[in-house]
């Protein structure tokens, strides 16, 4: 036995096999049923050559079979490769080839893209297809046949703390890259192996399941796609502790509240404003019994104070939390939000997690209260690096006072009270006239305008400034915001040099499947519509 994903799940199965484990629409599975299906798929994959160290791809929307696939892969000591279901055939080919995938499990509806991708991914030797109602022609073994051919026995080899967990992350820019973790390290940082609030490490691999047996378990609604680390670890941690995981096949704000009411959800796990804003609008427009909800938890994207305030107003008996972290660091800190709490200038303000610090350009820790902007860094349980990319791996890690830290590129400020304010990712910041502007803080300022539904901020070329701040804004339905009103509103929230000099109103702000900002799309839109912005660039010498 070990601090291993598969072992931690099996401990839960042994303690409460008849408890409901997963629900997605009308599909349900108890812990015992989930275990049986995962064992069957694992034995089928093993018969096709999947073994310890193999990489198995998964390309599907949220559904029961996705959870089964994850668990089956880890039972074999193999590594799951998350393949974004929104990818084109070219992008799917890149991930399958780059990750050396030997077997692929995909939803039937993506069969055409997969078929186009496979000739460029010669490592893939076996394909399992999850049947759906798309009617798409496919080549491979059907899900039903795969499970029928596999044994239900839990007769797998002993696993290790050192088994490999891989998470492919495209983030907001660049090609996808695989972040490698040891099972114990990623469990410590994302799966509850270190208590997020007390920072105390768990001493036994049985603590989570035993606590779940005592408590009876909760019901957690995981809204992000399971191709995203947020949803993967919200689901896995829930299963380690005997909770029920509720999934939606795709994000729909009305269906969210229907699921909350139907399943008596206790904890809603979401990704920032991209989910939180349409959800709160749908909630206000409908009538739902949400008395079971006592926590709303966000991470991985901007969750603006104005939207948080709406939740705190409408859910006065619930806790609202905002956590920071990345695929390269895991959990770095969490903030407990209160009505109109002090947010400061920038993004979320959190209590730092274990081994989280802010460092300067010389890799020295920045003391609290210095007002200096530095880079977030995390030590302790950290990843091994990027798969097959030693150059990027070398740039990811630094040594601070003789200790190894991962530094993914997020900028932050260490506040006088010891908390940390996240400012944004360095590769998306705007350099305007020598000043660095982080998109997230401008987005938060604009999101508090009553006519703004969603927004992305990018830098566009400017002859005098090098770059100027530009905003793509999705108005609320029926609203037509005035550019000068938006500018004046922003001027009251942030410094003048951060205020957008160009604004586009768009029908829909495009985001990634994970609900993260799609800055590549935003930059391309601004490039393709250079003369369509609502406000002409103001003079570089103006006070703005």
DSSP 13: H
pLDDT at 129 over 90: yes
pLDDT at 539 over 90: no
What pTM value is reported for the model? 0.88
Q: For residues 242 and 227, what is the distance between their CA atoms, to the nearest angstrom? A: 22
**Whole-number pLDDT of residue 362:** 95
Q: What is the pLDDT of residues 70-126, one digit of tens each?
A: 999 999 999 999 999 999 999 999 999 999 999 999 999 999 999 999 999 999 999
Q: How many CA atoms lie within 13 A of 280 on its CB side?
A: 21
Q: Give the ranges where 76-169 is alpha helix by DSSP (H).
A: 89-98, 111-117, 143-149
**Whole-number pLDDT of residue 468:** 93
DSSP 218: -
**Whole-number pLDDT of residue 541:** 37
**Whole-number pLDDT of residue 174:** 60
**Whole-number pLDDT of residue 540:** 39
DSSP 202: P
Q: Do the beta carbons of residue 103 and residue 54 sit within 8 Å?
A: yes
Q: What is the pLDDT of residues 473-508, one digit of tens each?
A: 999 999 999 999 999 999 999 989 999 999 999 999
Share of the chain above pLDDT 70, in %: 95
Task: Tell which residue, 448, 508, 440, 447, has the closest CA to residue 469.
Answer: 440
- Residue 416 structure tokens: 């006088």
Three-class DSSP category at 113? helix
Q: What is the pLDDT of residues 306-319, one digit of tens each?
A: 899 999 999 998 99
Q: In what order do the strands lie in the sheet with 502-505?
A: 452-462, 466-475, 502-505
Band of the pLDDT at 337, cuts 50, 70, 90?
Answer: confident
Q: What is the pLDDT of residues 33-68, one digit of tens each?
A: 999 999 999 999 999 999 999 999 999 999 999 999
Q: Bridge partners of 397?
A: 406
pLDDT at 256 over 50: yes
pLDDT at 410 over 50: yes
Q: For residues 131 and 140, what is the distance between their CA atoms, to the nearest angstrom? A: 11
pLDDT at 1 over 50: yes
**In this predicted model, which residue has the larger pLDDT, 30 or 408?**
30
**Whole-number pLDDT of residue 343:** 52
Write out the H or E segment, with its range, that includes residue 241: none
**Whole-number pLDDT of residue 537:** 62
End-to-end CA distance of the chain: 61
Band of the pLDDT at 544, cuts 50, 70, 90?
Answer: very low
Task: Tell which residue, 305, 432, 328, 442, has the closest CA to residue 375.
Answer: 328
Q: Bridge partners of 311?
A: none
**Whole-number pLDDT of residue 538:** 52
Buried b (16+ CB within 10 A) or exposed e, 190-210: bbbbbebeeeeebeebbbbbe
Our CA angle for 4, 50, 160, nearest 5°, is 20
Band of the pLDDT at 342, cuts 50, 70, 90?
Answer: low
pLDDT at 426 over 80: no
pLDDT at 262 over 60: yes
Band of the pLDDT at 197, cuts 50, 70, 90?
Answer: confident
Band of the pLDDT at 542, cuts 50, 70, 90?
Answer: very low
Delimit the domains of the chain by residue range.
16-20+23-159, 429-528
In this prediction, residues 223-238 reach a mean pLDDT of 95
Q: For residues 418 and 414, what is the distance between their CA atoms, to the nearest angstrom? A: 6
Count Cβ atoms below 10 Å from residue 354 Cβ, excluding itself.
Answer: 20
- Residue 172 structure tokens: 């907001």
- Residue 254 structure tokens: 């009305």
Fold held by 429-528? GMP Synthetase; Chain A, domain 3 (3.30.300)
Burial class, 542, CB count within 10 angstroms (exposed 0-12 / middle 13-18 / buried 19+): exposed
How much is the mean pLDDT over the chain?
A: 92
Which residues are within 8 A (CB) of 146 and not within 5 positions of it... i.e. 6 or more apart?
40, 41, 44, 128
In CATH, what class is 16-20+23-159? alpha beta
Q: For residues 429 and 282, what is the distance between their CA atoms, to the nearest angstrom? A: 32
- Residue 232 structure tokens: 């993967």
Q: For residues 442 and 432, what is the distance between their CA atoms, to the nearest angstrom? A: 13
Which residues are within 8 A (CB) of 151 and not within 5 positions of it... i.e. 6 or more apart?
39, 40, 43
Q: Bridge partners of 330?
A: 326
Band of the pLDDT at 543, cuts 50, 70, 90?
Answer: very low
Three-class DSSP category at 334? strand
Write out the H or E segment, with its range, that includes residue 421: strand 420-425
In this prediction, residues 364-390 reach a mean pLDDT of 95
Q: Bridge partners of 78?
A: none
Q: For residues 269 and 230, what is the distance between their CA atoms, to the nearest angstrom? A: 8
**Whole-number pLDDT of residue 340:** 54
Q: Do the beta carbons of residue 67 and residue 226 sit within 8 Å?
A: yes
**Whole-number pLDDT of residue 300:** 82
Task: Tell which residue, 104, 101, 46, 47, has the closest CA to residue 77.
Answer: 46
**Whole-number pLDDT of residue 415:** 93
């Amino acid at each position: 036995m070990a601090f291993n994903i598969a072992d931690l799940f099996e401990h839960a199965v042994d303690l409460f096999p008849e408890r409901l484990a997963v629900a997605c629409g009308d599909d349900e599975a108890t812990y015992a049923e989930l275990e049986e299906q995962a064992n069957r798929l694992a034995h089928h994959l093993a018969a096709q050559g999947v073994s310890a160290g193999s990489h198995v791809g998964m390309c599907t929307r949220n559904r029961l079979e996705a959870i089964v696939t994850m668990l089956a892969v880890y039972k074999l000591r193999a590594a799951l490769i998350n393949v974004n279901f929104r990818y084109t055939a070219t992008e799917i080919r890149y991930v399958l080839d780059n990750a050396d995938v030997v077997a692929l499990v995909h939803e039937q509806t993506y069969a055409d893209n997969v078929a186009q991708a496979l000739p460029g991914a010669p490592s893939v030797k076996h394909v399992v297809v999850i049947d759906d109602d798309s009617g798409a022609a496919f080549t491979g073994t059907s899900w039903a046949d795969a499970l029928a051919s596999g044994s239900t026995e839990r007769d797998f080899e002993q696993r290790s703390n050192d088994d490999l967990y891989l998470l492919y992350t495209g983030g907001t820019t660049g090609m996808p890259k695989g972040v490698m973790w040891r099972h114990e390290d990623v469990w410590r940082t994302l799966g509850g192996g270190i208590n997020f609030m007390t920072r105390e490490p768990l001493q036994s691999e049985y603590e989570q399941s035993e606590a779940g047996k005592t408590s009876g378990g909760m019901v957690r609604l995981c809204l992000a796609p399971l191709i995203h680390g947020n949803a993967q670890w919200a689901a896995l941690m829930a299963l380690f502790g005997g909770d029920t995981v509720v999934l939606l096949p795709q994000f729909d704000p009305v269906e969210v509240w229907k699921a909350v009411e139907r399943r008596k959800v206790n904890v809603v796990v979401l990704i920032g404003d991209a989910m939180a804003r349409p959800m709160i609008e749908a909630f206000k427009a409908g009538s739902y019994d949400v008395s079971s909800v006592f926590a709303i938890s966000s991470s991985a994207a901007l969750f603006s104070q104005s939207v948080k305030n709406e939740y705190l107003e409408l859910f006065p008996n619930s806790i609202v939390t905002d956590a920071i972290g990345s695929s390269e660091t895991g959990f770095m800190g969490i903030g407990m939000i209160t009505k109109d709490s002090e947010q400061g200038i920038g993004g979320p303000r959190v209590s730092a997690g274990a081994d989280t610090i802010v460092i300067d350009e010389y890799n020295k820790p920045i003391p609290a209260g210095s007002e200096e902007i530095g880079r977030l860094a995390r030590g302790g349980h950290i990843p091994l690096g990027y798969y097959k990319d030693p150059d990027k791996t070398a740039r990811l890690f630094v040594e601070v006072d003789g200790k190894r830290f991962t530094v993914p590129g997020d900028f932050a400020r260490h506040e006088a009270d010891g908390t940390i304010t996240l400012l944004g990712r360095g590769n998306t910041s705007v350099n305007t006239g020598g000043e660095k502007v982080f998109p997230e803080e401008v987005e938060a300022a604009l999101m508090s305008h009553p006519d703004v539904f969603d927004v992305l901020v990018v830098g566009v070329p400017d002859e005098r400034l090098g770059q100027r701040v530009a905003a793509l804004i999705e108005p609320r339905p029926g609203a037509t915001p005035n550019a000068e009103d938006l500018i004046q509103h922003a001027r009251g929230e942030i410094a003048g040099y951060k205020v957008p000099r160009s604004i586009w109103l768009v029908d829909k702000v495009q985001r990634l499947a994970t609900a993260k900002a799609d800055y590549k799309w935003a930059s391309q839109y601004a490039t393709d519509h250079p003369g369509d912005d609502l406000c002409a660039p103001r003079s570089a010498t103006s006070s703005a």
